[in-house]
Amino acid sequence: MICPVIGTFAAELYEGVGPVDPSISMTDAALAGMRHVLDLTPDDTVLVVSDTVTIRCAQAFLVAAAQHGCEVTHYRLPEADRPLQKMPADMKHLPGPATVVVNAITGDEREIPFRLAWLFKLEATPGLRLGHSPGITEEMLEAGPLNVDYAAMQRRAAVLHAGFRDAAAAHITTPGGTDLRLDLRGRRLVDDLKAVPGTGTNLPCGEVYCCPVEDGASGTLVVDGCYGTRGVVPDPVHFTVRDGQVVAVESDSLPTRDHIRELMDADDGARTIAELGIGLNEGARLSDNILEAEKALSTAHLAFGSNQGMPGGRNTSATHIDYLIHRPTIAVEAEDGTLRTVLRDGMVEGYSPEA
């Protein structure tokens, strides 16, 4: 359902889903995210995509953008067809005249094929800046990961960019038992702190990331945080990785083990290393929700599946599942053989709040 909304928000726009008026704090957080990450100006035209579950979050972005002087439009995904495997027919006309798009939608891993198709379309639209928020909740707009010190995140990111400069390899260890080596030759570290045309970012933002060489990861990954859309693991999950592929998954939680094995068997590319990410956002909480938790300080995450859209990424899959680890230490080997510790027990080496 496509609805133009200019300035005034009529109750009938959200008929059948109950009250949707956002709180002031939600609207403030939405505006902070759009201004700092999407460079929102009053001249922008904003499209917000949502579903029934995320209507109140969508309203916060719509109200914030309209109060900022923007023209705004809302599209609600059809609930009858969920989980979506492809874009609904009436989305072919989108994003229309929008210069900024916010995807405030439910984070269902079964909809990754739809989300990837929609993202590719948006990132191919000239001049468009994208905020992608699969799994956004009202708590994220109330509790802080969007209304944070963006300058502090930029400073942390700058330190990590310097630490990964000319990186040839990385060695990741954690108190939980992770001992994983990654080939990073030719793969560039980027961050999600500023959306630019052709490359969207998450709202809330707050990570630096890269895609390791697809056949260049080996060792053990022990996941002790959340993953995908399933929340925090009840028991650690042990991944054996060889030549970039997950070859074994074990856990005392058999339902978790079986679910992850199912994800790994989704297609030929689902077991391939896709991403290394490091959290930067001091307002992000260690919740069950990976959209927020992967941005939290003192965490890193590894993903398997698609890495299309990342610098150098070559792997194709219908999945991209993130797995969170706590208190990582990451040592980087530069192309000249120099060794640098860039993260120690989850803390960014060389970062100073006063810098």
- Specify whether 80 is located in the same domain as 12: yes
Alpha helices, H only, the chain? 24-38, 55-67, 112-123, 138-143, 150-163, 254-264, 290-293
Q: Is the pTM of this model over 0.95?
A: no
Q: How confident is the model at residue 309 (pLDDT cuts 50, 70, 90)?
A: confident
Q: Report yes or no on 309 lying in a domain.
A: yes
The arithmetic mean of pLDDT across residues 12-40, rounded, is 79
pLDDT higher than 80, residue 112? yes
- Percentage of the chain surpassing pLDDT 90? 89
**Partners of 305 in the β-ladder:** 320
To 10 degrees, what angle do helices 55-67 and 24-38 make? 70
The arithmetic mean of pLDDT across residues 193-213, rounded, is 96
Q: Report yes or no on 182 lying in a domain.
A: yes
For 109-141, b/e burial (b = at least 16 CB within 10 A) is: bebbbbbbebbeebbebeebbbbbbbbbbeebb
156-189 residue pLDDT tens: 999 999 999 999 999 999 999 999 999 999 999 9
The arithmetic mean of pLDDT across residues 132-154, rounded, is 94
**Rounded distance between C-alpha atoms, residue 304 and residue 219, angstroms:** 14
Cβ atoms 225, 286 nearer than 8 A: yes
**Partners of 143 in the β-ladder:** none
- Specify whether 219 is located in the same domain as 128: no
The tally of domains found in the chain comes to: 2
- Specify whether 100 is located in the same domain as 168: no
- Specify whether 156 is located in the same domain as 75: no
- Specify whether 232 is located in the same domain as 282: yes
- Specify whether 312 is located in the same domain as 343: yes
The arithmetic mean of pLDDT across residues 292-307, rounded, is 97
CATH number for the domain that contains residue 28: 3.40.50
The mean pLDDT value of the chain amounts to 93
Question: Containing domain of residue 341, as a range?
Answer: 150-348
**Rounded distance between C-alpha atoms, residue 22 and residue 323, angstroms:** 31
Query: Residue 355: its pLDDT value, please?
Result: 57
221-239 residue pLDDT tens: 999 999 998 999 999 999 9
Q: Report yes or no on 123 lying in a domain.
A: yes
Q: Report yes or no on 355 lying in a domain.
A: no
Residue 205 identity: C
Backbone phi, then psi, for 57, in 5-degree steps? -65, -45
Q: Report yes or no on 183 lying in a domain.
A: yes
- Specify whether 174 is located in the same domain as 284: yes
Q: Report yes or no on 353 lying in a domain.
A: no
65-87 residue pLDDT tens: 999 999 999 999 999 989 999 99
- Specify whether 290 is located in the same domain as 229: yes
Ramachandran area for residue 117 (φ above 0: left; ψ -120 to 50: alpha; else beta): alpha
- Specify whether 309 is located in the same domain as 263: yes
Neighbours of 58 (CB within 10 A): 26
Structure tokens at 137: 């909740």
Ramachandran area for residue 151 (φ above 0: left; ψ -120 to 50: alpha; else beta): alpha
Query: Residue 229: its pLDDT value, please?
Result: 86
Q: Where among 94, 109, 143 does a domain terminate?
A: 143
Q: Report yes or no on 157 lying in a domain.
A: yes
Cβ atoms 302, 260 nearer than 8 A: no
The arithmetic mean of pLDDT across residues 182-209, rounded, is 96
**Rounded distance between C-alpha atoms, residue 199 and residue 309, angstroms:** 8
Q: Where among 100, 128, 143 does a domain terminate?
A: 143
pLDDT higher than 60, residue 151? yes
Structure tokens at 315: 């792997």
Q: Report yes or no on 255 lying in a domain.
A: yes
Q: Where among 114, 143, 172 does a domain terminate?
A: 143
- Specify whether 124 is located in the same domain as 208: no
- Specify whether 176 is located in the same domain as 303: yes
Query: Residue 45: its pLDDT value, please?
Result: 98
Q: How confident is the model at residue 4 (pLDDT cuts 50, 70, 90)?
A: very low
- If you count them, how many residues does the chain have? 355
Structure tokens at 62: 């719509």
Cβ atoms 313, 272 nearer than 8 A: no
- Specify whether 96 is located in the same domain as 111: yes
